[in-house]
């Protein structure tokens, strides 16, 4: 794909590969099981989204998933630097990391061979490639069983050690600083600070990294994440519930915890009291994070994750018309989908725009939800679901320079004259950032001079 945002008009590009979040679909995405008699106007959908994001009267929320770090491009804007890998690449890096640990001088561990045994156990008949989420789920299921006999030749002690090392490698992969040059996160923060709103903007993210915090602080923009204090801020539920923070403070809700949240125990008047604090370093052994596994639903019902999910629920409450924009998330976490869909069903005035990275057929869950939920609009690479109607984009609706480079037309070979087909790149956080930058007066093309 030619992703050069400096070009006066974007060059034709092949469809990108999916950028999944840290979750695994039930089955390999394939062609849609529904007919697509409808066609949609790509440019009109982009205008609708622009109108929502420019409205300072409505409540705005952004649900930003694990695909967003892949939208950090190099300084020229040419390609993703894969700042934090998606789940398939993360799985490969974890396996290599375990192999390196085994090869260290003096090591007698069998981490990689134990990983391989669990990985093989996760192989499915449909040929789906196991991921680190599958392996952790299998590992923890075996570790929580009754009895102490080894399984697959792995003792409970070895399972515990393997769990610890896998989680440590995951944290290492996501503990990345935001690049100094201007990028999608900077552009997102510029948009947050560029609109004076009646209600605070709210960011919901299952990501553990601190990229959004870095971007907001660089501008600088005040934000509230549920912690209060200065030397060692602590999680304070009453501050969240009272919501007395000024409207100009952005709310940042980390649904699965963060690499800098730590659980500590203190003696208060002779009694041990546990609390969660936010530290300026990577958290130590008491990390407060929901690691990728199929046990996420159970963990999300505990504090402080439950309070974060409650903020997502509360976003849809009221008689007004809140607007939620989803990017970098493929609707693969059932416990998060449940909250979003319940909110949309409970408030018909609410509206959600789901920006998907790849083609419509690669997101069967999102399509299924939107086909039943009229206030959920899905905008994918090659088509959309609008008003419960799935369809491809109508030729000639890319909108020209007004919507470059996030919308473009691609010639379809095989006929004379060759027809064109529109494509939408708003599901790529890089292009969504350029889109937002244009809303707050930027060039929209991400040149170095924008930094």
Per-position DSSP letters for 68-107, written without gaps between them: GGGG-B-TTSSSB--SS--HHHHHHHHHHHHHHHHHSTT-
Q: What are phi and psi of 200, to 5 degrees?
A: -65, 145
In this predicted structure, what is the pLDDT of residue 150? 86
363 plus 444 within the same structural domain: yes
What would the two tokens of residue 79 be? Answer: 């390609």
- Residue 132 domain-assigned? yes
In this predicted structure, what is the pLDDT of residue 286? 66
Nearest to 20 by CA among 123, 117, 120, 132: 132
Place of tokens 């399984």: 151
What would the two tokens of residue 443 be? Answer: 């060039």
220 plus 359 within the same structural domain: yes
In this predicted structure, what is the pLDDT of residue 298? 66
303 plus 394 within the same structural domain: yes
- Residue 210 domain-assigned? yes
What are the start-end ranges of the E strands in 279-393?
Answer: 287-289, 323-327, 351-355, 376-379, 383-386, 389-393
As a whole number of angstroms, the distance between CA 221 and CA 195 comes to: 12
Where does a domain end: 174, 191, 206? 174
- Residue 48 domain-assigned? yes
- Residue 343 domain-assigned? yes
Measured at the alpha carbon of residue 442, what is the angle toward residues 439 and 446, in degrees to the nearest 5?
115
What would the two tokens of residue 265 be? Answer: 């125990």
46 plus 146 within the same structural domain: no
As a whole number of angstroms, the distance between CA 137 and CA 23 comes to: 12
In this predicted structure, what is the pLDDT of residue 295? 62
313 plus 223 within the same structural domain: yes
In this predicted structure, what is the pLDDT of residue 245? 84
- Residue 435 domain-assigned? yes
In this predicted structure, what is the pLDDT of residue 29? 39
**What angle separates helix 132-143 from helix 156-174, to the nearest 10 degrees?**
150
97 plus 136 within the same structural domain: yes
- Residue 268 domain-assigned? no
pLDDT averaged over 10-residue windows placed end to end, the chain, 451 residues? 41 39 35 61 94 90 96 96 93 95 87 94 85 91 85 90 92 93 96 88 95 95 92 89 86 93 78 81 69 64 86 90 96 93 94 96 95 96 95 86 88 64 95 92 44 36
Structural domain boundaries, residue 374: 38-84+177-257+290-450
- Residue 352 domain-assigned? yes
Are 73 and 430 in contact, with CB atoms under 8 Å apart? yes
As a whole number of angstroms, the distance between CA 251 and CA 308 comes to: 11
| Helices and strands, counts by H and E, the chain | 13, 17
315 plus 221 within the same structural domain: yes
Place of tokens 């130590």: 284
Where does a domain end: 146, 174, 202? 174
70 plus 118 within the same structural domain: no
246 plus 319 within the same structural domain: yes
Element (H, E) at 204: strand 202-205
61 plus 208 within the same structural domain: yes
- Residue 348 domain-assigned? yes
How many structural domains is the chain composed of?
2
Where does a domain end: 150, 174, 198? 174
CA 394 from chain center: how many Å? 29
As a whole number of angstroms, the distance between CA 270 and CA 150 comes to: 41
243 plus 368 within the same structural domain: yes
**pTM of the full predicted structure?**
0.84
In this predicted structure, what is the pLDDT of residue 114? 95
110 plus 217 within the same structural domain: no
Instruction: Name the β-bridge partners of 227.
Output: 235
CA 380 from chain center: how many Å? 16
């Amino acid at each position: 794909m030619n992703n050069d945002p400096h070009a006066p008009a974007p060059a034709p590009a092949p469809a990108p590969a999916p950028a999944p979040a840290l979750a695994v679909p039930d089955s390999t995405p394939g062609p849609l099981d529904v007919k697509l008699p409808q066609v949609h106007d790509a440019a009109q959908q982009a205008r609708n989204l622009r109108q929502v994001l420019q409205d300072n009267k409505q409540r705005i929320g952004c649900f930003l998933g694990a695909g967003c770090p892949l939208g950090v491009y190099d300084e020229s804007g040419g390609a993703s630097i894969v700042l934090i890998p998606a789940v398939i690449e993360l799985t490969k890096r974890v396996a290599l990391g375990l192999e390196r640990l085994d090869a260290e001088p003096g090591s007698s561990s069998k981490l990689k061979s134990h990983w391989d045994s669990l990985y093989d156990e996760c192989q499915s008949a449909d040929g789906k490639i196991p991921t680190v989420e599958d392996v952790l789920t299998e590992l923890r299921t075996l570790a929580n069983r009754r009895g102490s006999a080894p399984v697959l030749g792995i003792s409970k002690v070895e399972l515990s050690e393997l769990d610890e090392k896998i989680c440590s490698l995951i944290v290492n992969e996501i503990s990345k600083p935001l690049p100094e040059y201007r990028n999608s996160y900077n552009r997102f923060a510029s948009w947050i600070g560029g609109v004076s709103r009646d209600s605070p903007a709210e960011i919901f993210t299952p990501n553990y990294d601190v990229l959004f915090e870095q971007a907001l602080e660089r501008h600088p923009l005040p934000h509230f994440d549920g912690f209060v204090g200065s030397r060692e801020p602590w999680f304070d539920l009453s501050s969240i519930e009272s919501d007395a923070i000024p409207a100009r403070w952005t709310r940042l809700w980390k649904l699965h915890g963060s690499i800098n949240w730590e659980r500590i125990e203190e003696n208060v008047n002779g009694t041990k009291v546990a609390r969660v604090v936010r530290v300026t370093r990577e958290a130590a052994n008491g990390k407060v994070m929901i690691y990728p596994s199929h046990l996420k639903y159970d963990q999300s019902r505990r504090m402080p994750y439950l309070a974060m999910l409650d903020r997502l629920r509360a976003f849809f409450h009221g008689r007004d018309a809140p607007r939620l924009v989803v990017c970098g998330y493929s609707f693969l976490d059932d416990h998060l989908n449940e909250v979003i869909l319940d909110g949309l069903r409970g408030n018909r005035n609410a509206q959600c725009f789901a920006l998907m990275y790849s083609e419509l057929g690669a997101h069967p869950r999102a399509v299924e939800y939107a086909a039943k939920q009229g206030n959920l609009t899905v905008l994918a690479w090659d088509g959309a679901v609008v008003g419960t109607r799935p369809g491809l984009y109508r030729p000639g609706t890319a909108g020209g320079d007004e919507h470059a480079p996030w919308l473009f037309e691609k010639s379809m070979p095989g006929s004379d004259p060759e027809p064109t087909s529109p494509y939408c790149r708003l599901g790529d956080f890089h292009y969504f950032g350029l889109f937002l930058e244009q809303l707050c007066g930027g060039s929209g093309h991400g040149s170095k001079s924008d930094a």
